[in-house]
Structure 1
């Protein structure tokens, strides 16, 4: 006989869903048969598997150890070597990090290492999550950034955190602001709308003024933070959130991101590459503002979180806007973080 005590990260899901993950090599028919025959019981009673699990619930499995091992299968936990994450905020339910450019938010290929893997490695190495717990629950990121976009990534450490944050992103109840370095001078706050259509073959989007077949309405708001005759540092608010929205939308109005070879100006990008070593689009998820709310994770109610600017942003801004108090504040912010 084996007994399992339900923890916070396992609570909140249906009993049968938990069993499907626990016995990953078993068929659903086998699991329901074991429930009917009371070989698997919940809190000492027969179950149909539809019950919602609560913290402290007891699951007893009346099977031989070799049978349990057989149906559990060999669960491989490929935990990568820990790295120093730039942690912006952490509590029992969520983790907010400042993702560097070049790191994947989620795996694209089986061999990839992404933010997800680094977060799991961090939690295991700091004894905040055990390898045994990972067999039935995995933390994960709740929002995605392009590989070469830096900034705030929010992950759920617990099931409660994962569900709450995912719901908030889906319903767009929090405000997200990006910093973007773009070509040209912008002097006023502007709200732009258009219709975005994606080419799946090229993974590239196009912005149209009028609605197209299979297009999606996009809305972007931006205002200048610093500007000269060559470039502008923009604070961009995503009203909608579509693939490559900021990059394509700004390019469509004549202000492509510096370093963006997919949607930008190659000649201008090459200049900044030679002068500053810029290789990626200059886009940074700078600020996330939570609304006031109650319920799960309401310790975040009304709070806002900021990600310090990457070194390449600081390098360009320091040279393009010499002796700027705004740039000096960015530098001080980074020094304090260190």
Structure 2
């Protein structure tokens, strides 16, 4: 499958030369590079080759075929937990992105599944380093059915997370997620505990999202605790941001772990042996453990994904 990106020209963009339009819209290449790509046939409009001075029109379909890149290796060995004619349930490994993005295309769960199945739609998604239960619809009808369950919060999800420190009692993470303004990491979030917090009517403030997670300690060992997490809202980085803000950083997490500077060292491949030892795991210790939903035939099913063996949890057979 050849990698490509498709963009539809909007009415307020028409009348520009295509090389200038590309340069303004996608600033990661200079004008000279976009002209080169157009002349090499890597840019097509409505499936046809054009010259750099082509004047774009409303509804033109601009197709960009990026140069092949070497993608980082991944773990392709997902485990099938359940399958019928409408739904595939898998245990996703902790080192594979779900969707194409950035430098990942062929080395993604979406691409791997497309090679095997005629139709797929990922009902839920997990971060690249998060493992566990994923739901994949195998046709349009089932995609609509399971997406509606997801949107109506009728699919119950329970996660496991391994954190630094000894958690003795249950913890309630009810409050708000806000941008971490004191962090150097743009996408990082802070959790503000507020037991009286409520879901606002309508969309609410995107920079102050109501969030609710319940945590229960299962196993404590070597100054680490395995927690069961029940999420009652679906927010980006909800579990990791909440439990870290409550004082228990996630094992292996470069953003919400013991030191956020590790994130920049990680992306630049500069982490030392001692820093890796402090992280304890190569990937963040967050796992989608159990998912309960109603199948299209009306049956209620609970699906469980065993945690990665490198977590080394005592009595691991129970999880």
Q: Same fold (TM over 0.5)?
A: yes
- Point out the structure with max Rg over C-alpha: 1
Flag the 1:285–1:272 CA change in 2: closer, same or farther, 3 A: farther
Flag the 1:184–1:276 CA change in 2: closer, same or farther, 3 A: closer
The aligned residue for residue 283 of structure 2 is: 280
Write the distance in 1 (CA, Å) between the matches of 2:317 and 2:274. 24
The aligned residue for residue 202 of structure 1 is: 186
Gaps of 5+ in 1: 1-23, 25-68, 77-81, 124-128, 130-137, 292-296, 331-338
Gaps of 5+ in 2: 1-5, 7-46, 49-62, 66-74, 198-203, 263-272
Q: CA deviation at 1:122?
A: 2.2
Q: Which secondary structure state, in structure 2, belongs to the residue aligned with residue 303 of structure 1?
A: strand
- Segment of structure 1 superposing worse, 91-100 or 273-282: 273-282
Matches within 5 A, 1:21-36: none
Q: Which secondary structure state, in structure 1, belongs to the residue aligned with residue 233 of structure 2?
A: coil
The aligned residue for residue 114 of structure 2 is: 120
Q: CA deviation at 1:93?
A: 0.6
Write the distance in 2 (CA, Å) between the matches of 1:91 and 1:272. 44
Q: CA deviation at 1:166?
A: 1.1
The aligned residue for residue 259 of structure 1 is: 252
Give 1 or 2: higher helix fraction.
1
Root-mean-square deviation (Å)? 3.7
Q: Does the Cα contact within 8 Å between 2:89 and 2:133 map onto a contact in 1? A: yes
Q: CA deviation at 1:198?
A: 3.8
Q: Does the Cα contact within 8 Å between 2:82 and 2:90 map onto a contact in 1? A: yes
Write the distance in 1 (CA, Å) between the matches of 2:133 and 2:277. 28
Matches within 5 A, 1:149-188: 149-188=130-169
Q: CA deviation at 1:287?
A: 0.5
Matches within 5 A, 1:39-118: 84-109=77-102, 111-112=104-105, 113-118=107-112
Q: Which secondary structure state, in structure 2, belongs to the residue aligned with residue 122 of structure 1?
A: coil
Taking structure 2 as the reference length, what is the TM-score of the superposition? 0.63
Q: Does the Cα contact within 8 Å between 2:145 and 2:296 map onto a contact in 1? A: no
Write the distance in 2 (CA, Å) between the matches of 1:176 and 1:312. 22
Number of equivalent positions: 233
Q: Does the Cα contact within 8 Å between 2:76 and 2:93 map onto a contact in 1? A: no
The aligned residue for residue 299 of structure 2 is: 301
Taking structure 1 as the reference length, what is the TM-score of the superposition? 0.60
Write the distance in 2 (CA, Å) between the matches of 1:281 and 1:83. 18
